[in-house]
Amino acid sequence: MRVGTGAGDGFLHSGTDGRESPAGLGPAAARGPRRPGRRRRPWRWARGWLGLVAATVVVLALAGCAPGTRVPLAGSTGGPGSAQPSTSRAAPPPTTTGPSETATPTLAGTLAPSATPTPSATPSPRPTVTVAPPRPPGAGSARKGVSVWSFGGLQKALSDVGVSWFYNWAATPGAVTPPAGTRFVPMIWGAGSVNPATLAQAAAAGDTLLGFNEPDLGGQANMTVDQALDLWPQLQATGRQLGSPAVAAGGADPGGWLDRFMAGARQRGYRVDFIALHWYGGDFDSTRAVGQLRSYLQAVYDRYHLPIWLTEYALMDFSGGSARAPSTQQQAEFVTASTTMLESLPFVGRYAWFALPATPGSLTGLYDPQGNPNPAGVAYRQAGAPN
């Protein structure tokens, strides 16, 4: 049989007589030159044996290159029974580990043992990421509240603005459903609300009770100090945390309405747990307005040393006889600056913007009749957000 492929390749080739001859030699040369006078027949058996021996040697020499055998690589310790990878492959053969008989391809192109069916090497589509709607940014502030009255977008706006409390100048929330995490704070508005039924409703509505609304103004509760003091024990009897009457102005003035009320309450032994205040600024420069508000709050605290609830505040100028408000953008700048200041004062327990509705006639409202925020509303929604 032919082991090589041509002359000069180092293998044996078949001659024309069927016997193997050394590579590069023809049949005659393999038999040697003829010598005259001598008979060729005695050498035939010798040539036959030599050819057989040569073929055997070549076969034995080539046995190591037969298909199915492994040749140890340089530097390997391969011996009998050791299998080494071929260097002619572009990638290493699969390696099995342990009892597994199959190798699972990983997405990286390597082979890892597995007894499970081989998954597709095609990467799976990335899952769709659904982003949950953010919670109201200001929901983390326990101080921030808002005053409300009925309008079409009330429920939507109250759920969006991110306050922890609200009030409506009444003893009950009425048709309003407080959003989760938002509580209603009742108020005894004036002398006409001091009756057993209203007081019972207020007591049932919350753990805090706001006192009379602007008793120092004729168009509001319009009460004398003595009248308010005479009715105060009934409010105190509810057992709720009790806020002072909220004066329209002059809360820190010696001899003012609030000053006289607090002096009378001390003399009679009445309880007042915190001071309720209103403030409206006529200076529409945000920096100056914030400074004026802070000075007022500090002066009131320094006088009574009680926590302060700022239950109405905004930029609104009453000096010209009719109310005048800044642009919503100016109001928004003041909202951001003022709420940052209010959140920083340790003696400010609560604050509430006036007011949630931006309906006709409401110059400082935050949300339109459909319940959508204006620039000031957006700013107030973000106020008090945790960092």
pLDDT at 321: 87
Residues 246-274 have a mean pLDDT of: 98
Domains in the chain: how many in total?
2
| Residue 205 covered by a domain | yes
The residues, ordered by sequence, that sit 6+ positions from 76 with a Cβ below 8 Å of its Cβ are 82, 84
Task: Decide if 275 is inside a domain.
Answer: yes
Q: Are 256 and 242 in contact (CB under 8 A)?
A: no
In a domain, residue 274? The reply is yes
Q: Which domain holds residue 18?
A: 1-32
pLDDT at residue 251 tops 60: yes
**Poorest-confidence range of 121-125, 222-226, 298-302, 338-342?**
121-125
Please report whether residue 270 resides in a domain. yes
* Averaged pLDDT, 135-155: 82
Q: Whose CA is closest to 386, among 134, 93, 84, 54?
A: 134
Lowest mean pLDDT, pick from 79-88, 174-183, 243-252? 79-88
- What tens digit of pLDDT does each residue of 45-92 get? 344 544 554 444 443 444 443 333 333 333 333 333 333 333 333 333
Residues 17 and 150 in one domain: no
Residues 21 and 165 placed together within one structural domain of the fold: no
**Per-residue pLDDT at 140:** 55
What is the average pLDDT score of the chain? 76
**pLDDT for res 202:** 98
pLDDT band at 385 (very low <50, low <70, confident <90, very high): confident
Domain shared by 26 and 141, yes or no: no
Taking only the tens place, the pLDDT of each residue in 19-40 is: 333 333 333 333 333 333 333 4
Would 111 be classed as within a structural domain? no
**pLDDT for the residue numbered 51:** 52
Per-residue pLDDT of 320-342, as tens digits, reads 989 999 998 999 999 999 999 99
CB 187 within 8 A of CB 213: yes
The torsion angle over the Cα atoms of residues 162, 164, 169 and 172, rounded to 10 degrees, is 110
The pLDDT value recorded for residue 5 is 38
Distance CA 160, CA 380 (A): 10
DSSP helix, strand, coil percent of the chain (3-state; round to 5) = 30, 15, 55
Q: Are residues 182 and 315 in the same domain?
A: yes
pLDDT band at 164 (very low <50, low <70, confident <90, very high): very high
Query: CB 194: neighbour CB atoms within 10 A?
Result: 19
Pairwise CA distance, residues 96 & 182, whole Å: 63
CATH number of residue 328's parent domain: 3.20.20.80
Say whether pTM exceeds 0.85. no
Q: Count CB atoms within 10 A of the CB of residue 24.
A: 12
Angle at CA 301, nearest 5°, toward 297 and 302? 115
pLDDT score recorded for residue 180: 95
Residues 6 or more apart from 59 whose CB is under 8 A from it? 3
- Regarding whether 153 and 9 lie in a shared domain, the answer is no
In a domain, 61, yes or no: no
User: Any idea what DSSP says for residue 324?
Assistant: B
Confidence of residue 105 (pLDDT cuts 50, 70, 90): very low
Residue 179 lies in a domain: yes
* Structure-derived torsion over alpha carbons of residues 140, 144, 147, 153, reported in degrees to the nearest 10: -30
Q: What percentage of the chain exceeds 90 in pLDDT?
A: 62
- Say if 347 falls within a structural domain: yes
